[in-house]
Chains A and B, each alone.
Chain A
Amino acid sequence: MLVTSPDAAAAATPPDAAYVRSRGHAANVVRKLLRNPIAMGAAAVILLLIVVAVAAPWLTPADPFETSMFHRLSPIGTPGSPLGTDELGRDLLSRLMLGGRLSLFMGIVPVLLAFFIASALGILAGYAGGLTNSAIMRTIDVLYAFPSVLLAIALSGALGAGIVNALTSLTVVFIPQIARVAESVTTQVRRSDYVDAARASGASPFAIVRVHVLGNVIGPIFVYATSLISVSMILASGLSFLGLGVTPPQPEWGLMLNTLRTAIYVQPALAALPGVLIFITSIAFNLFSDGLRAAMEVK
């Protein structure tokens, strides 16, 4: 019999003692991450922050919007308001919990949007090469020629305050950075022998990108994108801090930091609290991203 079924072929091959079925790349990455205490700690912090933010409407001990002229800027540890009250007498703990929603949202969403747009642009430029590459990358270079903070402020400043405007500006800020990484890894992969072989065997460009390129480039691009989340958090809160981005009375950590700035002589510890949360979130995302980078063995 010339044609054997796969099962028969497998049965016919003698079992090789030295052969251990490889777990696959994804499983390896997860295993390495689970063994990295710093990355897992960071992941736990991120998870906790997200859970609290999402469930905030059911968790907040007081109404985060209810003002009280008689309880303005009460200190940390006041009965009924464990973290004190803000300059309008609103419960700070409740506002910090609810504020996490917008802060995290505005930190993560622009990076996510930029990740999709910039990956598409970068892979297209890297794989197509030639004129397409020049057209895309030279445009990207112009955006890249601005320091990111300046570009974010320029765009938000021109568009005006508002969540959508801030999200748009931040997405535009991150597109050139991610697209550059995407383009350079794609260019490397394109020059590899297996891509040449696929092309010689007549595979369409679309099929090559889908089968051979995407799987090899998306990891490094993703790792790079995760490292931008902390930058995005700081920038997004920074925009709100400047009065761009989130508008009152919505709670957001950067905006709260700005309005509490007037209270640094009266209640310094209280005024610094929203910033502590931005700091913790940003550090957790950075440490997790470092862990992911190590686990995925991306340089």
Chain B
Amino acid sequence: MLTFVIRRVLYTVPIMLGVSFLCFMLVHIAPGDPLVSILPPDASAELQKQLMTLYGFDRSLPVQFGSWIWRALHGDLGTSIATGRPVAHEVARAVGNTVMLAAAATVIGFVLGGLFGFVAGYRRHTWIDRAASLVSVVGVSVPHYWLGMVLVIIFSAKLGWLPATGAGPDGSDAWVWDYAHMQFLILPAVTMSFIPMGIIARTVRALVADTLAQEFVVGLRARGLSEYAIFRHVVKNCAPTALAVMGLQLGYLLGGSILIETVFSWPGTGFLLNAAIFQRDLPLLQGTILVLAAFFVGLNLLVDIVQGILDPRIERS
């Protein structure tokens, strides 16, 4: 077990290095001078040179990458070109909001999707199975930013039940656990939950159907076990894969929340990315992407390890 964990962790190191390199290169694949957004059009060559030195763009690429990653490891993600504040500071403020939104969406999506998938897997070829198929197709096909707009139209514009945008009354982004704040979370979280719901429903349905078709279930029935006892066996067999899918979906939501955060003006990392794109603030873009990608890689690692613990067959392969 320990060797499995160690091997898996070691395998993550080169991946993370590659991911950092890609993030690092984002500034360099960008057309034009990375400083173009802060340089006045009539900037003198001397000023440009000074700024190049200040931001370190005058050194060779490998040296820049080395020092960039060294500083990143120490929590320094550079300085936002637009605001002049440290990128790490901006990201730290936003990432909590994104994690909260993604976690809420995962819980909603997983409970509903899992429930749908389970019932559909148990009752194959009934109306509820067909409904579950519909849910999963709609879930993977719906443009979620549009779904967000539609929900805003219905619940904010027409019914006036829930606020349309923001993360708190008076436009504050300081989170408090009360209804005044919670109601801002409902629409974006529900919108976002549609993304994993379909995939989870589909996966769980296939898992349950596969498990029920296995001989050991027939054996359990033959031995006269109650439906509830058989149900417990089915759950145990489906859990590792279902958990893995859930973990991955949480990761996708963390990285994919930008569109939904834009629709709802949710003050998370997506909002930050949006600002970075519009102001062509490449260090901010780079830092935010790096943090989100690192989250995703870490989550993948965690999922693999948990799955290895729950299902020892994986360790051997």
Binding site for B on A (CB under 8 A): 138-139, 141-143, 145-150, 153-155, 157-160, 230-231, 233-234, 237-238, 241-244, 254, 257, 261, 264-265, 268, 271-272, 274-276, 278-279, 282-283, 285-287, 290
Count B-side interface residues using an 8 Å CB cutoff: 52
Complex Cα–Cα for A141 and B251 (A): 16
Min CB distance A50 to B, Å, is 18
What are 24 inter-chain pairs, A to B, with CB distance below 8 A?
A: A141-B15, A145-B19, A145-B293, A146-B19, A147-B293, A149-B256, A153-B258, A153-B277, A154-B22, A154-B26, A159-B31, A230-B140, A238-B145, A238-B259, A241-B259, A257-B145, A264-B153, A268-B153, A274-B146, A275-B145, A275-B146, A279-B142, A283-B141, A286-B137
* B window 1-35: CB within 8 A of A: 14-16, 18-19, 21-23, 26-27, 29-31
Cβ 8 A contact of A242, one of B140, B258, B292: B258
A279 to B141, alpha carbons, bound, how many Å?
Answer: 6
Closest to B133 in A: A290
With A145-B19, A275-B150, A286-B137 known, 14 other A-B pairs at CB within 8 A are A138-B14, A142-B21, A146-B19, A146-B293, A147-B255, A157-B277, A158-B282, A234-B144, A241-B145, A254-B143, A275-B149, A278-B146, A279-B143, A282-B143
Can you name the residue of chain A whose Cβ is closest to the Cβ of B34? A158
Residue in B144, B149, B300 whose beta carbon sits within 8 Å of that of A264 in the complex:
B149
Chain A residues with Cβ under 8 A from B14's Cβ?
138
Is A147 within 8 A of B296, CB to CB? yes
For the complex of A and B, list the 4 residue pairs with the smallest distance between their C-beta atoms, beginning with the closest.
Answer: A275-B146, A147-B255, A142-B18, A150-B255
A160 touches B30 (CB 8 A): yes
User: Across the interface, do A145 and B143 meet the contact criterion of CB distance under 8 Å?
Assistant: no
**Minimum Cβ distance to chain B for residue A255 (Å):** 12
Closest to B19 in A: A145
Q: Which residue of B lies closest to A150 (CB)?
A: B255
Residue of A nearest to B285 (CB): A157
Render B185-204 as a binary contact track against A, CB cut-off 8 A, 1 for contact: 00000000000000000000
Question: Which secondary structure dominates chain A's binding surface?
Answer: helix
Does the CB pair B145–A272 fall under 8 Å?
Answer: no
Other-chain residue from A242, A274, A282 in contact with B277 (beta carbon distance below 8 A): A242
Whether B120 is near chain A, meaning CB under 8 Å from some CB there, is no
Residue contact B142 to A282, C-beta cutoff 8 Å: yes
A154, A274, A282, A287: which has the most chain B beta carbons within 10 Å? Answer: A154
Does B158 sit within 8 A of A, measured CB to CB? yes
Q: Which residues of B contact A (CB under 8 A)?
A: 14-16, 18-19, 21-23, 26-27, 29-31, 137-138, 140-147, 149-150, 152-153, 157-158, 251-252, 254-256, 258-259, 262-263, 273-274, 276-278, 280, 282, 285, 289, 292-293, 296-297, 300
Q: Is the CB of A157 within 8 A of B19?
A: no
Tell me the nearest residue of chain B to A147, going by C-beta.
B255
| Given A149-B255, A238-B143: A158 touches B18 (CB 8 Å cut-off) | no
